[in-house]
Amino acid sequence: MERHAASGLFQPMFLALLSLMLVAPFTAVGQELARDPLSDAEAVELATAGAEAYERGDFTVAEEQYRRLVQGGRDSAAAYYNLGNCLYRLGRTGESILAWERARRRAPADSVILENLLFAGDRIIDRVGGAEDSDPLESLWRWHGRLPAAVATSLFLVSWWFFNACLAGALFMRVPRLRRLAAYLLPVALLVVMCSGAVLGLLVYRRDVVLQGIVQPARADLLSAPGESAVRITTIHEGLKVRVRRRRGDWMEVLLPNGLRGWVPSTAVAPI
């Protein structure tokens, strides 16, 4: 009898904890969506004005409208894509690649954005592809980078719910056969939730920890140390994509795709 009473006390406590665990993943998302300085009407007005200006060939005005749109909080993949189109038409290759890379970060599976980046790549002076381009692990890494965050989040949430359902079934299911089935599925559910969590966590890591940027000036010297008096290693040019390793004052150390690294002024590279 005492064992039964303890089980009855544990059950509501477990269910309360389970409900909290299921609701928690949505909290940060809701807080993020709550911030939006532009109203829907203002966003539509800017997008319409930008599209009309682009259609009549007034790319300067179109660029201004789309830039106001992204600066006003409506920094969607479509907004950055259209901004990149305007900048490319104006001959500002580095800025257009930066805008398209920001669009790609928001919609990594969009083939049109990728095609524009490949097309703009013909204007990039630097050809510094590394030997890792043929590495199977590097191919897997690139595939992972194209996985939409929404898909990874959905997979994690579904696997999370499945794991908790199996756990609840193994503990509280009254039908012995279903309880055994839930217990058998529990290790599989745990493995799935760990794998999907790792995929999602790696996406967050790539987005928030691994800082990449695009070279903006027509040319910039890559130096051996932070400071104008340092030895010049090579010269990099507008549109090149680099990885930012660290900052020191007004300088940043960057890693080129071919593994070469050095220092440039912080103003030379705009973060994606």
Looking up residue 226, the CATH number of its domain turns out to be 2.30.30.40
Longest pairwise C-alpha distance within the chain: 82
pLDDT at 147: 74
Q: How many domains does the chain have?
A: 4
User: Both 191 and 138 in a single domain?
Assistant: yes
Cα 197 to Cα 183: distance, rounded to the nearest angstrom: 21
Write the pLDDT tens digit of every residue in 119-136: 988 888 877 665 444 455
pLDDT at 188: 94
Looking up residue 66, the CATH number of its domain turns out to be 1.25.40.10
User: Both 26 and 49 in a single domain?
Assistant: no
Which of these three, 182, 210, 238, is where a domain ends? 210
pLDDT at 111: 86
Q: Long-range contacts for 165-171 (Cβ within 8 Å, ≥24 apart)?
A: 165/189, 168/14, 168/15, 168/18, 171/14
Write the pLDDT tens digit of every residue in 145-164: 667 777 888 899 999 999 99
User: Both 206 and 133 in a single domain?
Assistant: yes
Cα 204 to Cα 93: distance, rounded to the nearest angstrom: 28
Which of these three, 123, 151, 181, is where a domain ends? 123
User: Both 266 and 229 in a single domain?
Assistant: yes
User: Both 115 and 143 in a single domain?
Assistant: no
Write the pLDDT tens digit of every residue in 197-215: 988 888 877 776 778 999 9
Domain span at 195:
126-210
User: Both 249 and 263 in a single domain?
Assistant: yes
User: Both 152 and 97 in a single domain?
Assistant: no
This prediction has a pTM of 0.66
Banded model confidence at residue 247, pLDDT cuts 50, 70, 90 = very high
Which of these three, 105, 123, 141, is where a domain ends? 123
Cα 132 to Cα 153: distance, rounded to the nearest angstrom: 29
